[in-house]
Amino acid sequence: MNRLFVVSNRVPLPEKGAQAGGLATALQPLLEREGGVWFGWSGATAAKAAEQPARISHAGRVTYATIDLSKAEHDGYYANFANGVLWPLLHSLPEMMRFDRGDAETYFATNARFADTLVPLLQDEDLVWVHDYHFLPLPGLLRARGVANPIGFFLHIPFPSAEILALAPPAGKLIAALLQADVIGFQTSADLRNFAAAATTLTGARQIAAERLEIDGRRVQLGVFPAEIDAEEFAAAALRAARSPTVERLRRSLGGQCLILGVDRLDPTKGLVQRLAGYRRFLETEATWHRRVTFLQIAPVSRQDVASYQALRAELSQLAGEINSECGDPDWSPLRLITKGGPRTTLAGYMRAARVGLVTPLRDGMNLVAKEYVAAQDPEDPGVLVLSRFAGAAQQLDAALLVNPNDPDAIAEAIARALAMDLRERQTRWRAMWQAVTENSPLDWGLGFLRVLVQSASKPTAQVAPPHAKPLAPRHTPALHTPSNAIN
């Protein structure tokens, strides 16, 4: 019988409301059904780091255990190293990396504080599932503190070549610590291959099978686990939202024009500058579509304390102004750029109303927006997905119009083709993609990873509990009052 401990940088605390994002979307269904503990940062910062136990709260079958970060930890661990070094590097954008040794030291020290806070909460039977680039060294730090529990790790973003990863001075140390996990999961087979190459190049690991490494007498299982959405649920939400006053106002504002839609965080990896360049080229070369289309790009601001994100926001605003002033008319603005988010249900309604969905990141681990756009469509009159071939989702959604996001002419041609595509081809392409997004759910994804973790863990006593097994009482931390999971 195993209780599940999920570890992620941000914890979606219930009192803060429903939170969008790939990680929350993927994990919430699993924890809500099976129960467990979600551990990580509260999202709050304090003047100084406080050595104190995790703050505990409960909602349904889920226990939330969080700590605050100090201002110095937030800046060094989160903003400067995780998002200023690892994020661009793992997306194969090394030119955006800004390395400082002090930030790297803060990153490791903050991971150590997370480990110190987590260890007293664990029971012998628990499964530990660590998520994403914020916690690359955490498996090794937990092992160093005597944790023998099964530890899994999943990377939600891409993994680069060994040569690119090596540009970060602590790359070898990071990979060596990560290899203390029992199972390491990736979004695509290309990410897995890149990691295996980096592990053998930068550490003493040896690849003994396509999905297995050996280091210091231990075997580490690798696996590909594409993140999923609940397509049926999202489709139903989109259908309801399409009839809402908010979506109806958008539809009326279009005045019969076709809607082209992009929904992305305002992030350099999302290819927003390149996307606007492609749309501009479309307007320049396809004059017959003037006044017949409107492009709505929703790009909520994020990581506003990172310089590259601030620069991107300014550049996008300038490009949007240029497009509207040079290509528009007094009574027609070809582009609407919105840098604030909205409810996920409203976005679902916008997706259903859009004739073209533009999802063109420079690189992306998966990109669930692409899958959500497919799920939101009207089967009788579906829109067309234009998708970057460098998004992980392109492997499953190969019936989309695949483009190289660095080529504005390719984006322009795909937009024109999507707008002119006849109903029969749109339906054929949509049905193929609908089949792909309905094959698995987020719950299937989570349970699939945990089955591999239980089977592969070095701890031989790990057992799988039958569904709805009697909960274990917490052994070391009675304040948690958390039922154990039934991983089936």
Q: Residues with catalytic annotation?
A: 156, 364
Count Cβ atoms below 10 Å from residue 321 Cβ, excluding itself.
Answer: 12
Structure tokens at 25: 């979307």
Q: Among positive and negative, which fits the CA dihedral 102, 107, 113, 116?
A: negative
The burial of 460, by beta-carbon neighbours within 10 Å (0-12 exposed, 13-18 middle, 19 or more buried), is given as exposed
**How does DSSP classify residue 127?**
E
Give me the torsion for CA of 209, 161, 153, 74, rounded to 10°.
160
Tokens of 236: 């139903």
CB 102: neighbour CB atoms within 10 A? 11
How far is it, in rounded angstroms, from Cα 148 to Cα 124? 8
For residues 180-214, one letter each, b for 16 or more C-beta atoms within 10 angstroms of the residue's C-beta and e for the rest, the string is bbbbbbbbbbbbbbbbbbbbbbbbebeeeeebebe
Around Cβ 247, how many Cβ atoms within 10 Å?
Answer: 22
Residue in this structure with the two tokens 């606007």, named with its chain if needed: 276
From the list 328, 363, 380, 349, the residue with the least C-alpha distance to 263 is 349
Cα 147–chain centre separation: 28
Alpha-carbon distance of 221 to 455, in angstroms, equals 10
Question: What are the angstrom distances between the C-alpha of 167 and each of 90, 93, 161, 174, 380?
Answer: 11, 11, 10, 13, 50
CA distance 242 to 250: 10
Alpha carbon distance 59, 77 (integer Å):
29
CA atoms of 194 and 198, how far apart (whole Å): 6
The answer to whether 11 and 39 have CB atoms below 8 angstroms apart is yes
Amino acid at 338: I
Q: Within 207-266, where are the H helices?
A: 231-242, 245-254
How far apart CA 223 and CA 401 sit, in angstroms, is 28
For residue 256, the 8-state DSSP code is T
